[in-house]
Structure 1
Amino acid sequence: MNNHQPRKQNSHPLASIIGELASQALLVEANLHPKPGLVTALSVGSHCDMNIETFRVSAMTLKPFMVEFAQLGLSFTGDDLTQLLASLRPIGVQAEQHMLQATKQVNTHKGAIFILGVLCAALGFMTVQDIKISPLHLQNTVHKMCKGLTGELNNTKSKTAGEQAFTQHGVTGIRGEAEAGFPTLMQGLNTYKRAKRDGHTKQHALKMALLSCISINDDSCLIKRGGLTGLNYAKAQATIILESNLDSSQLNNQLHQLDIKFVEKNLSPGGSADCLSAIWLISIMESIFN
């Protein structure tokens, strides 16, 4: 299984496009600067084991797997979409193994593999079924794919940060998000679109979207590093900046200050960073297909 290479032959051209965009989305997120506690092109944030190059290698390694996720969605013909999710899972395990091999065991994108894997498959499925690419339809498709996912948390041995967050605090984490159709990233997507409509640059809009996600996300990355105290601190700080109606220069200044505070407290909102990649992917897919 470790030696599995994702299939490159027989991929639908659309699967290649979706997979390419998903890989690009990881780089868009990684390159965005400043971000609180997160790796950027100019900072390592609260991380001592990774930098922008680690993220670039990871994104490149994951691209063929993103194509395969999309291909599975494009070729799925059943009525029970939970079966589509089941078909993604072994590929997700292989993607994670290849990522860790490429990054020398650094977890750059474990959460993103899950979120983008589900979305690539959902987008592939929706396209071939001629379902309009919209937040509402996407939420509905993801909800059907991930039905019953939170039930797994009751049987878990508490290995991952997300599973430990459930055991200790009752937080359903990424499984709960997926089962509900990713409401956090959908709210971030709304924030992104609104900022662009208001005349802000894409960079500004992405930063606002990230803050929107941090302000509501029960992020297991934050809980792992700072407990519920760290999580609530991050949410409160993000909310304050979001509601301050800042221009781009002021926003960058506030994000820089928040980065200093997050680094001091060893906080990193990695789950919200994964959501940001997904927000960019969905917005691009909407603009291409609508």
Structure 2
Amino acid sequence: MSAVLNVLRPCVDSVRLGRLAVDSLHAELAVAPKPGLVTPFDPGSHDDMDAGTFLRSLFALRHYFRDIALAGADDAPFPALRTLGIQAEAAMLRATGGINTHRGAIFSLGLLVAAAARCRSMGLPVSGEQVCLGVRHWSPELLAAPLDPHSPGQRVRARHGIAGVRQQAAAGYPMLRTLALPTLREALAAGLPREAALCHTLMALVAKLDDINLLHRGGAEGLHWARTQAATFMADGGAFAAGWRPRLQQLGEAFVARRLSPGGSADLLACSVFLLQQEAA
């Protein structure tokens, strides 16, 4: 019987991790206000997508996160994970009519799901920080994988000389380990409601991250403006301050007026939610 359970456990864990990944993306979508980003109430700075577009994408991706968890539990090489990611991106684009809703999450959250499953299968620690570091297992192959030099993200990264999501992953996601996870943990431990804690963490990320989405939409000036506004919000207490919600809504109007959307920060917020949830799974 124990042998049967040992065979079944990775499959059960992978299904659970896949569900948590989808749940974390849904949690990020549901949070409001989020300056410039899609919420259930408005499309933010986007004129080609709304909450319905995101929900169609999430439905299309539900099997991907389970499958990449299974691959991680089997200690699959990076090319196998990459193939799953390419297939997931194609499914997303079919579901959304060619609109990119979750490309960044397919990459980063997918790798974290695989790392969480691998940690479990090998009896390694599963704290959020350790799972981030676990992604470094695939670093050599990850960094050697071919790039599309014509993609918007790669063009922006090359133009501004900043590290992209591939470099973040190869380094074990330092922004998650040193900023997002501690900020979210502390906000929840201090008694902030979940939505407020997520808004607080998002703005902490916007203040510090070289967000490629912001660079793509607003250039260096747009990124600097967004980071300055987020840093001011955090310095004034963030979501711990009285009246934080109308202040963040007002800031969101300014983001929309500039057509700015911190999509990279939103991806890491969803990753943070997943990393905390999987600790108890």
TM-score, normalized by length of structure 2?
0.91
Alpha-carbon distance between aligned partners in 2 of 1:148 and 1:228, rounded to the nearest angstrom: 31
Secondary structure of the 1:266 match is coil
Alpha-carbon distance between aligned partners in 2 of 1:69 and 1:280, rounded to the nearest angstrom: 18
Aligned partner letter, 2:77: L
- 8 Å Cα contact 2:115-2:132 kept in structure 1: no
- Unpaired runs of 5+ in structure 2? 1-8
**Distance 1:126-1:49 versus aligned 2 partners, 3 A rule:** same
- Equivalent of 2:102 in 109, 119, 122: 109
User: Is residue 158 of structure 2 the alignment partner of residue 159 of structure 1?
Assistant: no
Map residues 27-176 of structure 1 onto 2, 5 A cutoff: 27-76=26-75, 84-147=77-140, 149-150=142-143, 156=147, 158-176=149-167
- Displacement over 3 Å in runs of 4+: 147-152, 246-249
Map residues 243-254 of structure 1 onto 2, 5 A cutoff: 243-246=235-238, 247=240, 250-254=243-247
User: Is residue 181 of structure 2 the alignment partner of residue 183 of structure 1?
Assistant: no
Deviation (angstroms), 1:233: 1.1
- 8 Å Cα contact 1:148-1:179 kept in structure 2: no
Alpha-carbon distance between aligned partners in 1 of 2:129 and 2:163, rounded to the nearest angstrom: 22
Deviation (angstroms), 1:249: 5.4
Deviation (angstroms), 1:156: 4.6
Aligned partner letter, 1:107: N
Give the corresponding residue for 1:7: none
Secondary structure of the 2:45 match is coil
Give the corresponding residue for 1:3: none
Deviations 1:238-276, CA, capped at 9 Å, x for gaps = 111112125365221121011111101110000111111
Give the corresponding residue for 1:275: 268
Deviation (angstroms), 1:68: 0.4
Aligned-CA RMSD value: 1.8
**Distance 1:252-1:42 versus aligned 2 partners, 3 A rule:** same
Alpha-carbon distance between aligned partners in 2 of 1:214 and 1:189, rounded to the nearest angstrom: 14
Count of aligned pairs: 271
Alpha-carbon distance between aligned partners in 2 of 1:18 and 1:248, rounded to the nearest angstrom: 34
Secondary structure of the 1:130 match is coil
Alpha-carbon distance between aligned partners in 1 of 2:183 and 2:223, rounded to the nearest angstrom: 21
Give the corresponding residue for 2:207: 215
**Distance 1:266-1:132 versus aligned 2 partners, 3 A rule:** same
- 8 Å Cα contact 1:161-1:220 kept in structure 2: no
- 8 Å Cα contact 1:161-1:221 kept in structure 2: no
Deviation (angstroms), 1:180: 1.2
Alpha-carbon distance between aligned partners in 1 of 2:210 and 2:269, rounded to the nearest angstrom: 15
Aligned partner letter, 1:166: R
**Distance 1:65-1:11 versus aligned 2 partners, 3 A rule:** farther
Alpha-carbon distance between aligned partners in 2 of 1:150 and 1:235, rounded to the nearest angstrom: 28
Alpha-carbon distance between aligned partners in 1 of 2:242 and 2:46, rounded to the nearest angstrom: 25
Deviations 1:166-210, CA, capped at 9 Å, x for gaps = 221111211111111112223111101111111111111111111
Give the corresponding residue for 2:6: none
Aligned partner letter, 1:30: L
- 8 Å Cα contact 1:222-1:231 kept in structure 2: yes
Give the corresponding residue for 1:6: none
Alpha-carbon distance between aligned partners in 2 of 1:101 and 1:148, rounded to the nearest angstrom: 28
Stretch moving more, 133-142 or 183-192:
133-142
Alpha-carbon distance between aligned partners in 1 of 2:226 and 2:63, rounded to the nearest angstrom: 34
Alpha-carbon distance between aligned partners in 1 of 2:84 and 2:142, rounded to the nearest angstrom: 17
- 8 Å Cα contact 2:214-2:263 kept in structure 1: yes
Alpha-carbon distance between aligned partners in 1 of 2:280 and 2:242, rounded to the nearest angstrom: 28
Give the corresponding residue for 2:257: 264
